[in-house]
Structure 1
């Protein structure tokens, strides 16, 4: 509290200096009146004392006001941080929605629909109201296929349906028995036929 004492001394000395200056001005005109001068000094000291007391009363209030201001700043900073986090979550959700829309629209023409969103700026397709611009996505996907045709699905060589392939394991061999691929069984079958034919 040394600052308060200095302030109080300044407040106290200011009226005294003012009174002394007034006295000097009046001394030229009037003769010095000691009682009057002492009365002015007492009045100035009384005013200074009242000002010191008011200052002491107001200091805690000023401290509390500063604390409240600091608390409001921290509350405002907390709310600002919460707002920025919420905005970031909204942006993430919007990007996921746009990515899903791009994948869905690219599935018909792209070999890998995930490649499509890698080449596009997803933020362009979200309007101010949060809606997704599907027409814009279609347009950009078409332009992307023109620039990078290797991303498109390969065109089928022959659009006609293929006939089924023959399965050699089906059907019978020339003698009506199913042939085995095991050489031991083949030899046993030949020997068995030879012995029966005797």
Structure 2
């Protein structure tokens, strides 16, 4: 449809809509064709101006969209960096708690057993501070449950260290421990070999 046909159709529709409310009212105003055409021309002119402004603003809207997307990408990048930094901080806190648990696990034969058995995250409060008293309580409880993990008592009787020279050697050939006997054995072997 051309613009003129749209205008004519718009005029006819506006005449019908104007005529309908007036028919119901007590006063009927006569239809003034010149006034309706002038109003229509004014509206068409305003619509044309708005279309022109829209065409002028479309490139600016596209630029704004690009900047918004670029900002969004920057925001996403910053969010990723923030997440990575939080993960690094959490690892550092876990390492600090593990070190603290290991240092306080003096009564354990192997302090690593205590570190591996406890929930390290439970000893850190919201501010990131380590609760030393809670660690001590947990370690004491762990030793009660697993007494075989305790460090052997050093104040009691000592076990004797094994002596390999005692007992049989299995094949009956025992080497002498006196250096003179060792030298004599070597000399005998050397003379027999001649």
Q: Matches of residues 35-54 of structure 1 in structure 2 within 5 Å? A: 35-54=34-53
1:74 is displaced (CA, Å) by 2.0
Q: Which residue of 118, 122, 128 corresponds with 1:130?
A: 128
Q: Distance between the aligned counterparts of 1:127 and 1:43, measured in 2?
A: 71
CA 26–37 in structure 1, closer or farther in 2 if over 3 Å, else same: farther
Q: SS where residue 126 of structure 2 aligns? A: coil
Q: Matches of residues 52-131 of structure 1 in structure 2 within 5 Å? A: 52-106=51-105, 108-131=106-129
1:43 is displaced (CA, Å) by 1.7
CA 32–109 in structure 1, closer or farther in 2 if over 3 Å, else same: closer
1:130 is displaced (CA, Å) by 1.9
Query: Where does the alignment leave 5 or more consecutive residues of structure 2 unmatched?
Result: 166-175, 190-194
Structure 1 residue ranges (4+ consecutive) displaced by more than 6 angstroms after TM superposition: 11-15, 160-163
The aligned length equals 169
What whole-Å deviation, never above 9, does each CA across 1:102-133 have from its counterpart, x for those lacking one? 11111x21111111110001111122222222
1:33 is displaced (CA, Å) by 4.1
1:180: which partner in 2?
181
1:139 and 2:147 are equivalent in the alignment: no
Query: Where does the alignment leave 5 or more consecutive residues of structure 1 unmatched?
Result: 1-7, 171-177, 188-198
Q: Distance between the aligned counterparts of 1:13 and 1:62, measured in 2?
A: 34
CA 119–16 in structure 1, closer or farther in 2 if over 3 Å, else same: farther
What whole-Å deviation, never above 9, does each CA across 1:29-85 have from its counterpart, x for those lacking one? 455544333323322221211121122223223323323332232222222211111
Q: Distance between the aligned counterparts of 2:36 and 2:86, measured in 1?
A: 72
CA 154–34 in structure 1, closer or farther in 2 if over 3 Å, else same: same
Over the residues paired in the alignment, what is the CA RMSD in angstroms? 3.8
Contact 1:15 1:44 in 2 (8 A): no
